[in-house]
Structure 1
Amino acid sequence: MDKQHAEVSKFLSYVLRHQPEAIGLTLDHEGWADIGLLIICATKDGKHLDQHLIKSIVDNSDKKRFAISEDGLRIRAVQGHSSQQVGIEYQEKIPPEFLYHGTATRFLSSINEQGLNAKSRQYVHLSADEDTAIQVGLRHGKPVVLKIKALNMYEQGLKFYQADNGVWLTKFVPPSFFIQME
């Protein structure tokens, strides 16, 4: 991804996940924003977007953070929202036996005491593979990966969902379901 795409992707993440009101945008309950209105609001905020650039970012993103509606008129972040106006209705799914969470070593003692909490987001994000978790952990410092006994959690009544981009979501992971990896 080139520098312009990376910058626009970060901007889209910010407004579609966390602060749509920062540019005067409103999301519906499922997180959708009108693409034409997004372009107008972004332009007023000094960001140049057009339909082609937005589509290119959505189509070429390796993380698949965004989706465009079937009619091509709306866009949303597929997960990661902290905005309380968004409440995407994910379908509950049975998780694989293990999922993974990447974090930084500096957060480990707190996580081991309190578990994994969604904090300002709506869900804890888990990945299906260790490599993705390592990449997430690297964004926060020296990485550490927690292996989560996801199927055991599910069997004990905790719910799991999967976003369109493959990220696994749950509200909370108690420490008793962690297996710390080296």
Structure 2
Amino acid sequence: MNTKQLNETSKFLSYVLRHEPHAIGLQLDSEGWADIDSLIAGAAKDGRILDIALIQAVVSSSDKKRFTISDDGLRIRAVQGHSTASVSLQHVEKEPPEFLYHGTATRFLESIRQQGLIAGSRHHVHLSQDITTAIAVGQRYGKPVVLKIEALRMYQQGFKFFQAENGVWLTNHVPANLVSEKD
């Protein structure tokens, strides 16, 4: 398996496991799990050749740990980033560190200054504990900027925080007054 094949498969899995499972006739349960055999069959109808070895290679090689396979090896899910209404992952509430970071593009700054950070089509706002990850995320959308979030202060004010299996921090909304540009 080459890097291109792994990247293309990862993007396809993100698409169907986070956003559009019905595009290939796939059913996700409320926790986002899909039957791997059904995923392979649905992908084949879409003209994509997947097998268990390729899926396992994508899961294990993903530096961001986007996907997880069930303990019995029969199901797969995206660990966060869902926009499909059929999925409602039950993350455990957790106290965040003092600061978390959010990577975005400079073109979104004006909107963020007015509205804060909102989930948009996803279920949560995604935050990271380290600046390097935030920069990498921001670069996907244009000229990157890192925002510093007063996470602990938010938590003390009653905002709920969760941490996904891959370490990404999740919250519903970040008010504009608790967001600043990282120096």
Q: Give the TM-score category using the shorter length.
A: over 0.9
Query: Once the two structures are superposed, what CA deviation does each residue of 1:64-90 show, in whole Å capped at 9, x if it has no partner?
Result: 000000100000000000001000000
TM-score (norm 2): 0.98
AA aligned to 1:95 is P
Letter in 2 for 1:129: D
User: Could you say which residue in structure 2 is the equivalent of 1:103?
Assistant: 104
Paired residues, what number? Answer: 182
Q: Which residue of 1 aligns with 2:140?
A: 139
Q: Which amino acid is the alignment partner of residue 69 of structure 1? A: S
Which aligned runs of 4 or more in structure 1 are off by greater than 2 angstroms? none
Instruction: Supply the AA of the counterpart residue of 2:73.
Output: G
Deviation at 1:178, TM superposition (A): 1.1
Question: In the TM superposition, what whole-angstrom CA distance separates every residue of 1:29-55 from its partner, at most 9, and x where no partner exists?
Answer: 000000001000000100110001101
Aligned position for 1:94: 95
2:86 is aligned with 1:76: no
Shift of 1:60: 1.2
Letter of the aligned partner of 1:9 in structure 2?
S
Q: Give the distance between the partners of 2:98 and 2:62, measured in 1 at CA.
A: 28
Report the AA paired with residue 7 of structure 1: E
Q: Which blocks of at least 5 consecutive residues in structure 2 are unaligned? A: none
| 2:172 is the alignment partner of 1:171 | yes
Q: Distance in 2 between matches of 1:65 and 1:142?
A: 24
Unaligned runs of 5+ in 1: none
- 1:41 and 1:137 map into 2 onto residues whose CA distance is 32
SS class of match (1:79): coil
**1:33 to 2:34 alignment:** yes
Give the deviation of 1:144 after TM superposition: 0.5
Secondary structure at the aligned position of 1:140 is classed as coil
Report the equivalent of 2:150: 149
Match of 2:18 in 1: 17
| Pair 1:113 & 2:114 matched | yes
Superposed CA RMSD: 0.7
Deviations 1:75-117 (CA, angstroms, capped at 9, x unpaired): 0000000001000000000000000000000000000100100
Identity level (%): 65
